[in-house]
A and B are shown apart, each in its own frame.
Chain A
Amino acid sequence: MTQSPDIEATLARMQEELRPYLERRPLIIGIYTGGVWIAERLHRALGLEEPLGTLDISFYRDDFTRLGMHPQVKTSNLPVNIEDRHIILVDDVLHTGRTIRAALNEIFDYGRPASATLAALVVRDGRELPIQADVIGQYLKLNKNQHVKLSGPDKLILNIQEVG
Chain B
Amino acid sequence: MTRGDLQLDSQGRLRHFLTIEGLQRQTILKILDTAESFISVGEREIKKVPLLRGQTVVNLFFESSTRTRTTFEIAAKRLSADVININTDFSATNKGETLLDTVRNLEAMRTDLFVIRHPDSGAAYLIAGYVPAHVHIINAGDGRHAHPTQAMLDMFTIRRYKGSFENLRFAIVGDVLHSRVARSQIHALTTLGAAEVRVIAPKTLLPMDVEKLGVQVFTDMRTGLDGVDVILMLRLQFERMSGALIPSAQEYFNLYGLTREKLAYAKKDAIVMHPGPMNRGLEIESAVADGSQSVILPQVTNGIAVRMAIMALILGGQP
| Minimum CB–CB distance for A59 against chain B, Å | 4
Binds A, one of B45-53, B142-150, B166-174, B191-199: B45-53
Per the CB 8 Å criterion, the residue count for chain A at the interface is: 22
A74 at the interface (CB under 8 A from B): yes
Contact with B along A62-90 (1 / 0, CB 8 A): 00110111011111111000000000000
Contact with B along A114-134 (1 / 0, CB 8 A): 000000000000000000000
Beta-carbon contact of A109 and B313 below 8 Å: no
- Chain A residues near B33 (CB-CB < 8 A): 72-73
A64 to B49, CA, bound (A): 12
Of residues A60, A73, A77, A110, which shows the largest number of chain B Cβ atoms within 10 Å of its Cβ? Answer: A73
Q: Which of B24-41 contact A (CB under 8 A)?
A: 30, 33-34, 36-37, 39-41
A111 at the interface (CB under 8 A from B): yes
Per the CB 8 Å criterion, the residue count for chain B at the interface is: 21
Beta-carbon contact of B37 and A56 below 8 Å: yes
Of residues A56, A60, A64, A67, which shows the largest number of chain B Cβ atoms within 10 Å of its Cβ? Answer: A64
| Minimum CB–CB distance for B241 against chain A, Å | 41
- Chain A residues near B40 (CB-CB < 8 A): 75-77
A3 to B156, CA, bound (A): 42
- Chain A residues near B319 (CB-CB < 8 A): 68, 71
| Minimum CB–CB distance for A158 against chain B, Å | 27
A72 to B32, CA, bound (A): 11
| Minimum CB–CB distance for A144 against chain B, Å | 25
Beta-carbon contact of B318 and A59 below 8 Å: no
Q: Which of B222-247 contact A (CB under 8 A)?
A: none
A28 to B316, CA, bound (A): 31
- Chain B residues near A71 (CB-CB < 8 A): 30, 318-319
B128 at the interface (CB under 8 A from A): no
Beta-carbon contact of A69 and B316 below 8 Å: yes
A105 at the interface (CB under 8 A from B): yes
- Chain A residues near B41 (CB-CB < 8 A): 59
In-complex Cβ contact of A109 among B36, B39, B49, B312 (8 A):
B49
A22 to B118, CA, bound (A): 60
| Minimum CB–CB distance for A112 against chain B, Å | 11
Nearest residue, chain B, Cβ from A106: B49
- Chain A residues near B317 (CB-CB < 8 A): 68
A152 to B319, CA, bound (A): 26
Known contacts A59-B50, A77-B40; is A69 also within 8 Å of B34 by CB?
yes
Beta-carbon contact of A69 and B318 below 8 Å: yes
Nearest residue, chain B, Cβ from A83: B45
A73 to B40, CA, bound (A): 11
- Chain B residues near A109 (CB-CB < 8 A): 44, 46, 48-49
Nearest residue, chain B, Cβ from A67: B316
- Chain A residues near B313 (CB-CB < 8 A): 68-69
Q: Which of B199-217 contact A (CB under 8 A)?
A: none
| Minimum CB–CB distance for B200 against chain A, Å | 37
- Chain B residues near A68 (CB-CB < 8 A): 313, 316-319
Known contacts A69-B312, A75-B37, A76-B40; is A64 also within 8 Å of B46 by CB?
no
13 pairs, CB–CB < 8 Å, chain A vs chain B: A59-B49, A59-B50, A59-B51, A68-B313, A68-B316, A68-B318, A69-B312, A69-B316, A71-B319, A74-B37, A75-B36, A75-B39, A109-B49
A residues contacting B by CB (< 8 A) are 56, 58-60, 64-65, 67-69, 71-78, 105-106, 109-111
Q: With A75-B40, A111-B45 given, can you name 15 additional A-B contacts, CB distance below 8 Å?
A: A59-B50, A59-B51, A60-B50, A68-B317, A68-B319, A69-B313, A69-B318, A71-B319, A73-B34, A73-B37, A75-B37, A75-B39, A76-B40, A105-B50, A110-B45
